[in-house]
């Protein structure tokens, strides 16, 4: 099997979870509980857990985009909610955030996302794409304010692999993002994404778990970026950097000037999602949201 489990996020036995005021969460006049909640959804006769954050500024009169954030291999959603924390952004930008929990592999060897069609890349027979698609359908019932044209996915490491898999095989996502992740062979060789599908990739050049230059297991990050450039017909490139040149930002756009692909190259960066990253005043979560929020299922929002 091509996927190397030991490369990714280690589980810390005791998790200290900050809920940012989750206690005594306020209730909207329509019965909507705001703040961070843990919920359960049954799929394939298995109870699947997820965290959902409804902004305390919730207004039933406006539409809300939906942002999925996927933890890495061995990860726990509650911990990832603190690492990739979009709650303040959700308050200021008016969107809903979901942190799903992956299931453990047999033998409790770590949580995972099964982000491949049946192939050598499979980690299990768990139907994670079905779980996420059915969860979306339920969330659209539970929260009618969700804009079904503005659903996004991003993830770290194995969660980034999952985002690519959803972008290729689900028709529900307007844009995707990956941090320290890449495309498995199944996605890279047989991607069936809608045209166009916006993609942002953030990756460190010293990532030894998912190497920037690729290896026998994974395509290189430049090859992945080229795939999405070609798919979205965005051959034109702009290159920007931060003041000390440690971060390079590549933007790829079509002849009409519409950007559909962005790559953030962190010189010397390792295998992590780091919201302490500062690219011209914006951290990793801000870069992800700032990109994906420009799109709906039909393309660039004008």
| pLDDT given at position 296 | 97
Q: Which CA distances in Å does 296 have to 26, 63, 121, 196, 270?
A: 30, 13, 30, 10, 31
Contact 286, 278 (CB under 8 A): no
Structure tokens that stand for 45 in this block: 């006769």
> What residue ranges of the chain have pLDDT lower than 50?
1-24
Q: How far apart are CA 214 and CA 207, in angstroms?
A: 10
pTM of the model: 0.90
Taking each continuous run of H as one helix and of E as one strand, the counts in the chain are: 7, 14
Collapse the DSSP code of 150 into the 3-class scheme (helix H, G, I; strand E, B; otherwise coil) and give the result: strand
Phi, psi of 19 (to 5 degrees): -100, 0
| pLDDT given at position 240 | 97
pLDDT of 219-250, one tens digit each? 999 999 999 999 999 999 999 999 999 999 99
**Cα radius of gyration rounded to whole Å, the chain:** 18
| pLDDT given at position 9 | 40
| pLDDT given at position 17 | 39
- Which residues 6+ apart lie within 8 Å of 272 measured at CB? 156, 180, 204
Q: How far apart are CA 269 and CA 278, in angstroms?
A: 13
Interhelix angle for 158-169 vs 128-142, to 10°?
A: 70
Instruction: Count CA atoms within 13 Å of residue 251 on its CB side.
Output: 11
| pLDDT given at position 118 | 76
């Amino acid at each position: 099997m091509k996927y190397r489990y030991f490369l990714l996020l280690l589980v810390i036995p005791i998790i200290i979870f900050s809920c940012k005021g989750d206690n005594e969460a306020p209730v909207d006049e329509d019965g909507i509980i705001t703040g961070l909640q843990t919920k359960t959804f049954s799929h394939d006769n298995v109870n699947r857990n997820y965290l959902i954050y409804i902004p305390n500024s919730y207004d039933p009169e406006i539409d809300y985009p939906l942002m999925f954030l996927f933890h890495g291999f061995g990860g726990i959603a509650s911990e990832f909610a603190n690492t990739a924390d979009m709650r303040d952004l959700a308050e200021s930008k008016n969107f809903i955030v979901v942190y799903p929990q992956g299931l453990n592999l047999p033998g409790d060897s770590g949580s995972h996302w099964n982000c491949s069609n049946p192939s050598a890349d499979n980690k299990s027979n768990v139907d994670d794409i079905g779980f996420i698609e059915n969860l979306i359908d339920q969330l659209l019932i539970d929260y009618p304010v969700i804009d079904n044209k503005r659903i996004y996915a991003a993830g770290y490491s194995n969660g980034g692999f999952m985002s690519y898999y959803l972008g290729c095989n689900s028709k529900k996502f307007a844009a995707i993002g990956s941090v320290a992740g890449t495309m498995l062979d199944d996605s890279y060789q047989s991607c069936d994404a809608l045209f166009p599908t916006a993609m942002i990739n953030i990756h460190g050049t010293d990532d030894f778990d998912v190497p920037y230059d690729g290896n026998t297991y994974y395509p290189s990050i430049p090859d992945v970026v080229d795939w999405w450039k070609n798919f979205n017909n965005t051959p034109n490139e702009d290159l920007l950097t931060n003041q000390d040149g440690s971060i390079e930002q590549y933007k790829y756009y079509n002849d009409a000037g519409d950007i559909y692909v962005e790559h953030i190259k962190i010189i010397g960066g390792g295998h992590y999602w780091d919201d302490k990253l500062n690219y011209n005043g914006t951290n990793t979560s801000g870069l992800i949201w700032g990109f994906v929020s420009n799109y709906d299922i039909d393309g660039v929002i004008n």
